[in-house]
Structure 1
């Protein structure tokens, strides 16, 4: 393709966008809204996945001991736990340590435990079992619930399953909405191109008559759709970045550790994904809208 042809295609595309600026603006807004909403669901899904991964890394099983458990039973339980597949580390927490740790977790509401001391301690001693992988939690819970000297066994698997289920739901809802909005975007961009082609149908007919190829006629309109898609992608990226950065700052202020995806991810990764999606939406919308006009 010669430079003069490229220059002609680009010039013709931008002139067409300006002539039909009202509907072109509507198309840009629709593409931007489509990608922004998809970006919101994408970020929510990514942050939920981060939360799931963080919880899985910290998952542990607590084997709570009977208040009347004998020293022999406690030693036997510890020996069995050390021989279990998937157990990475075992820590014994006494009743006194459990009460002290609970006081620390209350953070400013320690007075709720006033009256409880070493002689009047409602907490239970327990083994804190850290796992190599979360999948071993259920097996250990089932096995040790019936062991002598064990009162009960608790693990966080139910919480992880709920978070993972929420992440899956968010992903599917996001995909469904994205598909619907893509269809709307294709419709609007297609209408923009159709209006342009209709106003120039005589010119298109003459070009076909003198032997112009379909792609020579098609390229200015395809470029027009791509430009609309790119502008929509950039607008949605800017809005998503500043909105997410504000939310991220509000949530993480005062927190030393956070598992949230950082706002820079929007600029470093989502921008390129949005640009590719915008180009695809614009190009496909243009090509589909031109088909019947090129049939002579």
Structure 2
């Protein structure tokens, strides 16, 4: 097989179908950019979930003087009720599940409220009206239900709050966004595959006389097919490289340059290493899909 001749034929095909090749490059670029974004979004979700799962706590809020739940009919939680909760947390049944327990008294609770909403807003309450609470960090966050069931309905306990539940809607929304990106990417990849197949068939039709001559001189189907496959692979490779550059640029300017400094509540972000890991995946997807599409298209055309 003459490599030089095959490459020359492939370049001739690219030059003849320049507009179609540009279309393939652009469609591949857009579709693989969505694929890369979806991969990084899913990695971000996994990173955030792992980070917050380790730090999310279960808060056992004791009754305050202004509590109105059924377990607080006697008013503020008594010292005896506080000791009962502390004893349960330190008991043989729950202690194996617990990493640490922090007790927050009224003064600490009021100071945290001031820090959160400001002194003016916090002034609607007094320190005596604040709740005392136990903040429980679990060894396995999946066991938070055990803590909730142990103290829900206990006299002196107003409510039990699992912080991780507040994050579930956020993770769900991000997951839906990832699925949307994957869906768009899949549609665009299908469009790219069909466009590559159409381009190859048009290129083969434009060179039908040359193909006929090659057949007459005994050229094998492999020799005839290879330049056309290379055309599709080259166009898809360019699109893959552009998509990779877009993903890296988005990571550098979008995440590192913008989001990290403006969303301080998220302390764990995907990194450039994660984006660099996505690059070969995008290139392989683009090249493989193009090779399969072009190979299938030219084989079908040669049979007709």
Using structure 2 for the length normalisation, give the TM-score: 0.87
- In structure 2, relative to structure 1, the CA distance for the partners of 1:162 and 1:148 (3 Å cut) is same
- 1:15 pairs, out of 12, 16, 19, with 12
Aligned to 2:160: 153
Q: Map 1:1-296 onto structure 2 (within 5 A).
A: 5-67=2-64, 68-83=76-91, 84=94, 85-106=96-117, 109-114=118-123, 116-118=125-127, 121-248=128-255, 249-253=257-261, 255=264, 258-266=267-275, 268-295=276-303
Preserved contact between residue 186 and residue 285 of structure 1 (Cα < 8 Å):
yes
- Once residues 230 and 38 of structure 1 are traced to their aligned partners in structure 2, the CA distance between those partners, rounded to angstroms, is 15
1:45-98 CA-to-partner distances (Å, cap 9, x unmatched) read 322332222221211100011233222221221121123142111111101111
Preserved contact between residue 225 and residue 299 of structure 2 (Cα < 8 Å):
no
1:202 CA displacement: 1.9
The residue matched to 1:291 in structure 2 has which SS? Answer: helix
Preserved contact between residue 45 and residue 170 of structure 1 (Cα < 8 Å):
no
In the alignment, structure 2 segments of 5+ residues that lack a partner are 65-75
In the alignment, structure 1 segments of 5+ residues that lack a partner are none
- Once residues 253 and 161 of structure 1 are traced to their aligned partners in structure 2, the CA distance between those partners, rounded to angstroms, is 24
- Once residues 234 and 38 of structure 2 are traced to their aligned partners in structure 1, the CA distance between those partners, rounded to angstroms, is 25
- Once residues 119 and 45 of structure 2 are traced to their aligned partners in structure 1, the CA distance between those partners, rounded to angstroms, is 31
Preserved contact between residue 30 and residue 184 of structure 1 (Cα < 8 Å):
yes
Larger deviation, residues 158-167 vs 76-85: 158-167
- Once residues 116 and 140 of structure 1 are traced to their aligned partners in structure 2, the CA distance between those partners, rounded to angstroms, is 29
- Once residues 166 and 38 of structure 1 are traced to their aligned partners in structure 2, the CA distance between those partners, rounded to angstroms, is 18
1:25 CA displacement: 0.6
1:274 CA displacement: 1.0
1:30 CA displacement: 0.7
- Once residues 145 and 131 of structure 1 are traced to their aligned partners in structure 2, the CA distance between those partners, rounded to angstroms, is 17
1:257 CA displacement: 6.7
The residue matched to 1:64 in structure 2 has which SS? Answer: strand
- Once residues 247 and 149 of structure 2 are traced to their aligned partners in structure 1, the CA distance between those partners, rounded to angstroms, is 46
Preserved contact between residue 35 and residue 282 of structure 2 (Cα < 8 Å):
no
Using structure 1 for the length normalisation, give the TM-score: 0.89
Preserved contact between residue 113 and residue 122 of structure 2 (Cα < 8 Å):
no
- In structure 2, relative to structure 1, the CA distance for the partners of 1:72 and 1:112 (3 Å cut) is same
